[in-house]
Structure 1
Amino acid sequence: MIYDLELIKVGKVYDNGTTAVADFDLMVRKGEFIAFLGPSGCGKTTTLRMIAGFESISRGDMMIRGVRVNDTPPERRPTAMIFQNYALFPHMTVRRNVGYGLEVKGMAKRERDEKVARMLATLDLEDIADKRPDRLSGGQRQRIALARGLVTEPDILLLDEPLGALDANLRKAIQNELKLLQRNLGVTFVFVTHAQSEALALSDRIVVMNKGRVEQISPPHQLYTRPNTPFVANFIGRNTIVDGVVRAVNGEVASVETALGLLSGALNGTLAPGANARVVIPAEAIEVVADGPGQAAAVGARSDGNVVTATVQRSDVVGHISHLSVTLPGGRPLALEAHVDKYPPGAFLPRNPVLLAWQAAEATVIPAA
């Protein structure tokens, strides 16, 4: 199978010996929306620039549609890149900005004008085609940058945090437009972001990076519910992570002895009894019940024995979301949030004892390192 993009043990080492990216393996099918996600300095933008040809590759191979492009200059690669600041020419009209790449390629004016007109119509930019971008809104400038990238008909569109400069409401609106546009055009998108919500909402698969290395490549739901490593468990979502030692493995469920008692979860990785492990419990999976006589046994019976005592410290409601702050045995604080239907206002008062419970299938047991 020929992939739109294939990275084979790709690495980047700077002249001072610093490793920016190491052993990056990735295969991207045509029409996929891939997000690179990770903290600042993890190597995601460096990888995007290597795909574009703006950064050299120190080792490994970069393939686009089955062709090795390690030494191919940016202008000869079937890619287009959109930067966070959009890099639009303020002295040019929207129409000229969109057609600039075609002009550089030497395309005949008639054909260029036809392509630009179609792209302006596709992105609803016809009404502002003769205006200059410095007089337009952030959302309009973002669409102009998209139009300029897409009009050259690239095999792969590279986007370096293109929504970072937008306010929250506009960012959400543009997210919806971006995903719909990508699906309609069928162009492969590779998208760099540090915002989890963007990656989870937009992408078909997410590449989580940390210190130049890939931690996990998974579809959004799998990444959120089944982290492979402690870094992903800490970085994605709102998880409670409890260290312990594996006591038993029964099929796909592992039981782990922890400071909070014997806890269980779905096994993700290779673990045997005696191995150090971590139980990862998503905040959404945790049921909170007021403690009382016989409650622990009743709750444990319906939650695979996963019951932990806690004390409420604070309870707040913001809009339709309830926020609970509790303290676990040993003094560890824990923040929980859920819809008010799950944690009703006034149901959990400060200093009251509660029970936290979850199903084993909703937790994940991973190797400790």
Structure 2
Amino acid sequence: MSILEMKVPSPGESITEVEIATWLVKDGDYVEKDQAIAEVDSDKATLELPAEASGIITLKAEEGDAVAVGQVVCLIDTSAAKPSGTAPVAEAPKAEEKKEEPKATPAVAPAQSATYATGSASPAAKKILEEKNIDAGSVQGTGKDGRVTKEDAINAVPSMGTPTGGPRGTERKKMSMLRRKVAERLVEAKNTTAMLTTFNEVNLTEVNKLRSEYKDAFKAKHGVSLGFMSFFTKAVTRALELFPDVNSMIDGQDQIKFDFADISIAVSGPKGLMVPVVRNAELLSFRGVEAEIKRLATRARDGQITVDEMTGGTFTITNGGVFGSMLSTPIINPPQSGILGMHNIIERPVAVNGQVVIAPMMYIALSYDHRIIDGRESVGFLVAVKEALENPMELLLNNDPKKALEL
């Protein structure tokens, strides 16, 4: 017999333990090499654990167990032969059919006439209960054979409309390691930063015009949609160049500024919130931004995202508008110092050049760490984002949309 010990591989630097989220096989199953046998949660991502060899598997950890990196979680008997197809099950002999004897029909007791003696309440009690709009059947009687007396009816209290008899079950479920880590980081951000949020609104008329005019040609050539995220990402990278304090973070008593923009994009995945990073977004074209966001979002939703793909961002964009959010105060993604919140687009009446027009409007929010970002920088940054989105032809496409969109 040849036994292979499968140990938990390291999913990334600084990660010392993971949690068995789900076993994809059962104890005693035959597994093939590279077959996914488990999903494991780290504090940053959910990853699949592939079998290192073919054979019969013996599980050494339960779902929900926290296991250290390098710990043995299962054994694989590599000398075991792959089981052949299951033999057909022999059909059990049919039992001899027995003739059923006709069953005797039970005698039905004659219906008893309803009288005061057999009723549930006295006539006086019924009258009182009717005035109170109370069902006699809901009152516990103290009279003979449980009958409701006049005194019972007087003392009965009508229901105040509180529903009764409905389900009142509860369920306790352990949070995944990823969800627990997200919770810790959110509390940490609230407790360790001087977080403040400033708001503005954006008229997306010009962005909508560009998307309507070029989206078909863009998708036909590049295979990805021309969405709002590329416009917002390019507007953010431009604003970060103008206000570099927003593209910085605190390390002890030092402020670290970045001359590149690694933009974290918040994505809602099956295991919770994930924030993959678009590296050097300031150097990417519209096509590059859309393609990279699509790639990372797909990997996050399929549970294939890696730790390296979610670390190292310098600024975050989150879009609550896809869920219908009108306004919010997004929480900073530490150790970053700023996060931009997008919201839903609503057609509203606004004043444009002295005229009231209906325009597609979006509220945007910037949450920032006031320890290193002052009001001038935060408000200026948000105004710069607004200006770029309201004048994208000049400020984002350099007055040459076909060249900028690579058409």
**TM-score, normalised relative to structure 1:** 0.20
Q: Which has the higher strand share?
A: 1
Over alpha carbons, which structure has the higher Rg?
2
